[in-house]
Amino acid sequence: MDRECVSLLPGVCEVLADPGTSLPDDTSLEKLLDWFTGLIEAGGSLLEACPCLLEFISTVVHNTASDPGVLSFTLRLTGLVSATEDGFKMLQERSVLNEVFNLKHWQEAGLWEDPCLRIGWIQGLRSMLQHPEALSFFVQSAFLDPLLQLQTDTSLFVASAANQMLAHVLLFFQPVSSPGCNGVDKKAEDDGRTHTSAEYTAVVTSISQYLKESLVPKENTKHHQSLQILKLLALLLAKAGPPLRDKLLQTVGDSLEELVTAGGSELTLPLMDVVLAAYSSSGTDERVTRLLASMLNINKPADLIHAAAAFLRRGRCDAVHTARAVRVLLLPLDVITGQSLLGTNTTADAHQVSVVEQLKSKTPCISMICVCLTNTPQIALTPSGVLPCPPVLIITAVLSLLSICSGVSSSSSTGSSEVYRNVIGNGKVQKCALEALTALSSSPGAMEKISEVFTVLIQYLDNPDSDPTVLHKSYQALLKWTSVCTDFSLVTDHLRHDLIEVVKKRVCDMRWEVRDSTVEFLGHLTGVRVSLKSVEVCDSSDVLLGVCSTTPLLKEALQDSESYVRASAIAALAKTLTHSWQQGAALTQEETEIVSRLLEILSQDTEGFPRRAVVQYFISWYSSNSSHLPLSSSGSSASLLMQCVRSVLSQGSADLDWEVKVHTLELAELLLDETFSAHQGYRKGSDAHRAPSHPYGVVSEQAHTLHTHAGTHTEGTESDLATVVEQGVMSALLSGLVDCDRPVALKACRLLITLRETVCTLSLGTLDATASMATVSCKLPGLGWGKEIIKILRLKRSDRAREADIAAQRNLSDADEGGESVSVCEALRLLGLDERLDVLTQSSDHIHNSPLSLLQDILTASAAHTQPGEEVIVDCY
C-alpha cells in the first residue's frame, strides 16, 4: 500500500468518526470501500496495514449520532475485515463483531428505520460469511430470522440484498457430495466446510421451512412475498448441488404445485423461472416435469405465451415440452394469418377460443404477437419432428402478417378480421415482424421464399406510411436475405425494377433518416458479395440494381442538406468503389468528379461527420489500391490518389475535429507502413502499440491490408524518408504531436516513435548513413504547430548547446521569419517523444481517480466544512 495513503488514513478515520463532518460527495465512501476491497483481493491484511481501522470501527459503533451513511459504511467495512479468519478472530477477540452486528442496538437507537443501515448490515454479514467461524457466529447470533424478515422489506434494495444473502448462505456452505457437481469447487473440502454441517443443516431446514410456508400468498393481494421467494428459489435452484436442490424441491414442491394451480398472473414469469431452473438442473425429476407441463398449460393466454417463450429461451431440448411451447407460440400467428401452422387436423381446443378473444383487444394482441414473432426464428430451427409445420410455412406466416400490417392483405386469408384492425399500421408489430423475417433468412428452406420476401419488403419500402425505423429494418432484412441468396434468378426482373424505383424514390425522401438508411443500404449492398451460378463472384448491388444505378444516386447524396446523409454517402461510395480500386481499374470521369467534390467537403463542410468520412474514403482507397507505387506509378489513378493524399494530409491535420485528425494520422500511418514495411526494424502501426486504447478514442473500423512490394528496401531509406516528408506525412505527424486533443497527440507520438526507431537506429549504424539522413529535412511553418515545434527544438538545443553541435548551429541559423527547416532525424531525437508518450498514455483522469486523491478530498472537504461561511459545493458529476 502506498505509504502516503497509510499516513493519511488515520486522519480520514477521525474525520469519518466525527458526526459533524461532511463528505466531498456521496460516492466517496463507496470509493473507499472499493479501495479496501482491492487491497484485500491483492492479498493484504487490512488490519495489519491500517490498525487505525479497528479503532475507527469501535468508535463509530458506539456513537449513534453518526451519519447513517457512515454507520452503513462501518458495517460493511467490518464485514470486509472479518472475511478472513484472522481478521474475524481479531474482531471477535475485541468483541467488536457482536457490537457491530447487534440488531437490538440499532433498533433501540432508532437507526434500523434507515434502509441504508439495514443494507449495510446485510452486506456486512454477506462479506463476512466466507468461513465456517462466520457461519457459527451467524447461527449463534440468531440472525436468520431477522434476515428472513428483511426479505420482504419495504425497500426494494434491502429486500433484494437479503435475497442474495440468503442464497449466498445456502450455496456457499453447501457440502460437497459428489465430484463434478456444479456450483461447488473442490477447494471447499479443504476449508473444512463439512465440519459445519450441523449448523448448516439447521440453516437449510429453517430456510426451506420458511420458503414452504410463505410461498403461497395468504391473501390474494400479498404477492410481494411470494415474488421474493420465487426469485430466491430461482437463484438457489440454478446453482444448488443435488443434495440441496433435492432438499429444496422436496420441501417446496407442494407449495409450488399449489401456486401453479392458482395461476396468478403476476407470478407466472418468476414461477416459470423457478420451474425452469429446477428443470434444467434436474431434468428427470417427475414432479418438476409435471410442474413444467402444467406451466405450459395455464389458462391465461398472455401468461402462457410468456411462459412458453421463457422455456424456449432456456434452449434445453426436450421434444415433448418444446413441441408444446412451439404450439403455444405459433397459435396467435396461426389465428391472425390463417396459415395453418398447427396443422389442419387439430382439434379446436378451448385455449384457442380464449386466445382469439385476447387478440381482439389491442394491447394484449400486440404484446402476444410480438412475443410470438421474436421467437419464430428459433422455432424455425427446431427439429422437424417437433415442429407442427414445415419451417417455410413460418416464413409464409410472417410475410402474411407483414402484409396484413400494411393493410394490403389479400382477402383470401382466412384469419380473424376482427384482429386485423389491431395490427394494421402498427409500427411495433411491423418492426418485430421485420426483425423476425431477417433472422428467418437462415432457416431451412428459406430460399424458396425469396421472391415473396422481396415482394413484401419492396412493398414496405414503397409504402408512404412506413416510418423511418420500419424502413431501416426493411433494408436490413433485404440485405440479410440478399447475403444468403444463392440463386438470383428467383428475383425477377420485375422485382429488380421495383427495387430500383423505390430506392431512387427513397434517396429523395423528405426525412433525412430515410435518406440516410437508403444511402447506407446502397453501400452495404455493394459489400455483399454474391456468387452467381453462371457468372463469377460479383457484388449484389450489380445484380439487384444494375451497375450504373448506385454511384449516381450516391453522388447526388453528397449534396444532401443533412450532414449524416453526406457522411453515409461518402462511406457508401467508398464501399461501392472498393472493388474497382482493388482491380486497378482506370478512373472514370465520374470518380474524378467525386474526388474533387470530396476534397471540397473536406475543406468546406461545416459538420464533422462528412469530413471524417472523406478521410476514411481516402484511407480505403489508398489501402485497397494495389497499384499505388508512390510516385513511381504513372497510372492516372495512382497519381490522382497521391495528389489527394497530400491535400488530405495537410487539410485533415489542420481540421478542427479531433476525429478527423486521428483519421488523418491513420492515413499517414498507412503511408509509413507502405514506405518502410520492407525495412528491418519497422513495426507496422497495426502490430505495435495496440496497447490500452482510450475509451473515447477512435479505433479504425477495418484492418487495412497492404499489398507489400516485391522489392526490398534495405537501401534507400533516405529517399524513402524524403518521399514521406514530401507527401506531408511529417508535417501531419508533427502538428499532431502538439495537438491539444490527447488521442491525436498520442497517435502522432506513437507514429513518430516508430519512425524514429526505423530511421534513426539505422542511421546510427553507419556514419555514412547518418550523414546522408541528416540531409533530409522538413520545413516547419512559422505559425501554429510549427512555431511550437521550433520552440521545443530550440529549448532542447540550448540544453545541448554546450556540446556545441555544429550542424545544429547551422540549422538554427537557417531559420527565417517564415519558418524553419529542420533535419528530420534530429527533430525525432530532440522532441523527447518517449517522455511525451508516458504523459499521453495515462488517462486524463488518472490523477483524480487515485486513492490518495480520494483521501485528500475527504480531508479537504472536512477542513472546509469546519471553517464557517465557506461552503464547498462539490460537483460529483
**Shorter beta-carbon distance to another protein: residue 411 or 489:** 411
User: In this structure, what C-alpha cell is assigned to residue 568?
Assistant: 453515409
Q: Which three cell numbers stand for residue 876?
A: 460529483
Side-chain half-sphere exposure of 143, counting CA atoms within 13 A: 26
Cα–Cα distance, 2 to 670 (Å, whole number) = 43
CB 151 to another protein: min, Å: 47
Give dist(CA 163, CA 117) in Å, integer.
16
Smallest separation, CB 626 to another protein (Å): 35
C-alpha cell at 358: 385476447
CB of 522 to another protein, least distance (A): 15
- The smaller minimum CB distance to another protein, of residues 320 and 508, is found at 508
Count of CB atoms situated within 10 Å of the CB of 345: 6
The smaller minimum CB distance to another protein, of residues 464 and 711, is found at 464
Toward another protein, which CB reaches closer, 53 or 553? 553
For residue 489, what is the DSSP state? G
Q: Please state the closest distance from residue 852 (CB atom) to another protein, in A.
A: 55
Per the listing, cell 523527447 goes with: 832
Nearer to another protein, 563 or 653 (CB): 563
711 — alpha (psi -120 to 50), left (phi > 0) or beta? beta
CA–CA dist 162, 122 (Å, integer): 6
Say if CB 457 and CB 478 are below 8 A apart.
Answer: yes
List of E strands, 288-406: none
The C-alpha cell of 270 is what? Answer: 418468476
Burial degree of 717 (CB within 10 A; 0-12, 13-18, 19+): buried
Q: State in angstroms the smallest separation of the CB of 213 from another protein.
A: 50
Smallest gap from residue 293 Cβ to another protein (A) = 38
* Sole residue written with cell 494520422: 665
In the complex with another protein, which residue's Cβ is closer, 562 or 657?
A: 562
Given the complex with another protein, which of 507 and 638 has the nearer CB atom? 507
Among residues 413 and 700, whose Cβ is nearest to another protein? 413
Give the shortest CB-537-to-another protein separation in angstroms: 31
C-beta of 555: minimal distance to another protein in Å? 11
Task: Report the nearest approach of another protein to the CB of residue 468 (Å).
Answer: 10
Beta carbon nearer to another protein, 513 or 788: 513
Q: Which residue has the cell 402498427?
A: 426
If DSSP codes are grouped into helix, strand and coil, which group holds residue 821?
strand
| 8 Å CB contact between 450 and 481 | yes
Q: Which of 292, 350, 277, 282 is nearest to 325 (CA)?
A: 292
Write out the residues near another protein by the rule CB under 8 A: 407, 409, 411, 413, 417-418, 420-421, 424, 463-466, 504-512, 556, 559-562
- Cβ atoms 97, 78 nearer than 8 A: yes
Q: What residue type is assigned to position 796 of the chain?
A: K
**Cβ 566 to another protein, closest distance in Å?**
12
- What sign has the CA pseudo-torsion 117, 120, 121, 122? positive
Distance CA 703, CA 723 (A): 24
**Cell matching residue 848:** 483524480
- Between 383 and 407, CB nearer to another protein: 407
User: Minimum Å distance from CB 571 to another protein?
Assistant: 20
List all residues 6 or more positions away from 794 whose beta carbon is below 8 Å from its beta carbon: 812
Shortest gap between Cβ of 341 and another protein (angstroms)? Answer: 20
Q: How far is the CB of 434 from another protein (least distance, A)?
A: 18
DSSP 54-83: HHHHHHHHH-TTS-HHHHHHHHHHHHHHTT
Alpha helices in 710-850 (DSSP H): 717-727, 729-737, 742-765, 767-774, 784-800, 806-814, 824-830, 833-841
Cβ distance 208 to 251 under 8 Å?
Answer: yes
- DSSP, residue by residue, 161-198: HHHHHHHHHHHHTPPP-STT-TT--THHHHTTGGGGHH
Rg over alpha carbons for the chain, rounded to the nearest Å, is 35
State which residue, 463 or 576, has the beta carbon closest to another protein.
463
Q: How far is the CB of 572 from another protein (least distance, A)?
A: 17
Taking alpha carbons only, the member of 759, 714, 748, 734 closest to residue 822 is: 734
Q: How far apart are CA 357 and CA 314, in angstroms?
A: 29
SS3 361: coil
| Neighbouring-strand partners of residue 780 | 820
Q: Would you say 422 or 438 has its CB closer to another protein?
A: 422
Give min distance, CB of 305 to another protein, in A. Answer: 25
Residue 456 or 587: the one with the smaller Cβ distance to another protein is 456
Residue number, 156 or 508, with CB nearest to another protein: 508
Smallest gap from residue 526 Cβ to another protein (A): 21
CB 661 within 8 A of CB 738: no
- The DSSP H or E segment spanning 532 is none
Nearer of residues 397 and 662 to another protein, judged by Cβ:
397
Q: Among residues 9, 8, 33, 12, which one has the least CA distance to residue 23?
A: 12
Q: 546 or 832, CB closer to another protein?
A: 546
Closer of 499 and 587 to another protein (Cβ)? 499
- Shortest spacing between CB 366 and another protein, in angstroms: 15
DSSP assignment of 733-753 equals: HHHHHT-SSHHHHHHHHHHHH
Shortest approach of another protein to residue 408 CB, angstroms? 9
Q: Grid coordinates in use for 791?
A: 520552440
Residue number with CB closer to another protein (413 or 442): 413
